[in-house]
Amino acid sequence: MEETSIEKQQLILNLIEKETEINDSKDYTELNYKSLIKDLSSLTSRDYITYSPINVENWKPNDEGLGFIENGSLELRFYNAIPEEGVETGSLKNFFQETLGKEFAVGQAQAMKKKWVKKEGSKIMRVTGCSAVDEVTEDLKLLKNGKTLDKKKIDDLKKRKLIEKSVTTTYKLLKGTKFTTKLTKLETDLTQDLLKDDAWKTAEFKPYNFDALGAIPSCGHLHPLMKVRDEFRQIFFDMGFTEMPTNKFVESSFWNFDALFQPQQHPAREAHDTFFLKDPVTDRKYPKAYMEKVKKVHSVGDYESIGYGYTWSETEAEKLIMRTHTTAVSSNMLYQLAQEKEFRPAKYFSIDRVFRNETVDATHLAEFHQIEGLVADRNITLGDLIGMLKGFCRKLGLGNLRFKPAYNPYTEPSMEIFAYHDKLGKFVEIGNSGMFRPEMLLPLGLPPDVRVIAWGLGLERFTMIKYKIENIRDLLGHKVDLDKIKSNPITSNYIQKIQLNSLSKNNLSIFELQLPSGFFNETTQRNQNNFFFPAHLGLTDLKNISYPYFYKNDGLKSIVFFSPIAGFTTENSKSTRTELREVLPIGLWNVNYGTHYMKFRQRINHLPKKWPGVVYAQVHDGKYAIATFKAYPSVNYEKNGKVSLIAFTHVNTPRTINATLVEEYTIGETFEGEILVVQGTMHMLHNGEIKLSFPASYPTGNNFAYFKIGCYSQSNLEIEGNSTEYTETEVFSVTTGHFT
């Protein structure tokens, strides 16, 4: 009969009483059972004993190695199978088909390496007088039985992937402060019986384990698609877009195809690409006058277009379908916009389901979500579309985009959009884009100088890239793993720490480095820069350094940032800089949502005697500095080396400044700083103390931001263009964190 846990614990106490201490539990057969750690933990919680683990690494045969033990090594089986007359080399594959299969080549290579077989002419022959000793199998047997081998043999077996590492844990046991061999039962609750006879006064109660994980509550869980959808909606809203109504899954072919200048003979309108309704079959709810304009531009052309030159059928346009894209909604919204008395620029978006009669595979579904965006304004161009898409995707953390020329019936020019998928290791098409053709816009009644840029993106594709999902069927449909959705956190957390005491291992890929050393540009001349622009470098680690602007101080385990006053700077700026700019995989972060911080250890090594100062840490929105830590030379700087550390912010407009003195600082002293953003409020801390707090009201109103750190010289190239002065800071560590 199996011993109970109480009996096993009593046995442990008796052994320790007898031996005083147990140096290794493996020496006692009565302690070699699987649940030992559970009993040890129970006794330790009552201070009866103390224990410490002894971990021993061992090598043992893996599944393939166990196969060698059972059947012999591949080389031995190859050798034994070769007949005395040998085997033609061209016939080896067929000869070993049933015995070794594809592994015959490994067996042949090892057998020839050990000189058990040789090649004679066109045949593989046994070596005469050879005694084939299967040392590999014997070594594997020794490991299986707990023996050890020398390093060379272990390395050989590892190279052949025949063994795996295992860790055996045993324990050293000692008496605890309350050691006793009298094991009493712990009470788990204060019962009526204990109260009746005052037994509770002498009873020993089991302590509460406040570190134990509680039961996971049963609750709803957000699907990854819904999370990404909400991110898209928030980005659109922050960019000033208006959401379009998309509650019509069923559309007429007129709004889905004809209004978009898509010919009625287009392959996409056939049954193999589109779901047609059986009941009802048709719908005539579209403006008659507008329909006549569409008919004309299709049939004979108009607005300087020759059209398609075919007989347009109203019967075809009336057919009801499951919408193939949400652009059907866009055409309707543009028609409504055109009916207004005066044209007004507009930005619309929608995110909803569309339907295609497609074969389902790893990257395609018959029912999926389309993200639709469009901007209508006067004289906008394809460059505006590319810039809009890059900025939009960057906020989602997709910086690696490609654009490919494409054809769409209703846009010209047109582009396919591709984003890089890390797990698939290739670019994946995520959408289509272009500028609506005049043949589509002018029948709507829009002014001739109005242009519309538009794009449609796949929500599923974006979600696959963001969550590194390889098969779209794992995201939507009957094959979805519900446990994976349940375990998926609602929050999106991103933390990057750079601790400079291990320089070679630090990953700087979330930062872009700007240097005040330029590169040649033939098209634009820049003040004192004279055809040169600053260098921007993407970093993978601290091996990518550029002396003297950005380099390691190996002795102090730090990075030095050096910026000459007369360096190269960005367009619309007169100040030079060497700084790291945050470029996150999750894109820019929104100050109104979640918690974001940058902590750093830093010091200022040099400032010019009178001017300028240096920005050493900052939050930026792409156009304006929002929160800035800056050092200025003080009045007595030349005498006592003191500079003023200032924390300030632009509030509401770029001209309104809220500033505070952080401290009078001595050059060369190390300090700690932090910029903390919590749900729209910024806090600026110096050496753990909050120096300035303010609502993050942005001058640009876009609410997205990134962190910067380094050496941003507050010079003016128009004044100090020939100066030999410089600013220098040194960073020992920087940590950024984002919880949204």
For residue range 494-522, what is the model confidence (pLDDT) as tens digits?
444 444 443 334 455 567 777 776 543 43
Contacts of 78 (CB under 8 A, 6+ apart): 96, 100, 104, 107, 108, 110, 111, 117
The whole-model pTM stands at 0.48
Per DSSP, 713 falls in state: E
- Give the tokens for residue 135: 């040392």
Q: What integer pLDDT is reported at residue 407 of this predicted model?
A: 87
- Is the predicted pLDDT of residue 649 greater than 50, yes or no? yes
Give pLDDT tens digits for 424-452.
678 878 788 999 988 888 888 888 889 99
- Is the predicted pLDDT of residue 307 greater than 70, yes or no? yes
**Is there a contact between 488 and 224 (Cβ–Cβ < 8 Å)?**
yes
Question: CB neighbours (10 Å) of residue 310?
Answer: 12
Contacts of 654 (CB under 8 A, 6+ apart): 624, 699
Q: What integer pLDDT is reported at residue 527 of this predicted model?
A: 39
Q: What integer pLDDT is reported at residue 563 of this predicted model?
A: 85
Q: What is the average per-residue pLDDT within 552-578? A: 75
pLDDT band at 524 (very low <50, low <70, confident <90, very high): very low
Q: What is the average per-residue pLDDT within 537-546? A: 52
DSSP assignment of 121-159: TTEEEEPTT-----HHHHHHHHHHTT----HHHHHHHHH
Q: What integer pLDDT is reported at residue 452 of this predicted model?
A: 92
Q: What is the average per-residue pLDDT within 622-639? A: 79
- Is the predicted pLDDT of residue 540 greater than 50, yes or no? no
Smallest CA-to-CA distance from 604 within 709, 692, 506, 502 is with 709
pLDDT band at 554 (very low <50, low <70, confident <90, very high): low
Percent of the chain surpassing pLDDT 90: 6
- Is the predicted pLDDT of residue 152 greater than 80, yes or no? yes
Give pLDDT tens digits for 685-719.
998 888 888 887 655 556 788 899 988 887 654 45
**Is there a contact between 705 and 589 (Cβ–Cβ < 8 Å)?**
yes
- Is the predicted pLDDT of residue 555 greater than 80, yes or no? no
- More confident call, 604 vs 203: 604
Cα-Cα-Cα-Cα torsion 663, 667, 670, 675, nearest 10 degrees, comes to 50
**% helix / strand / coil in the chain, to the nearest 5?**
25, 35, 40
Across the chain, mean pLDDT equals 79
Q: What integer pLDDT is reported at residue 500 of this predicted model?
A: 44
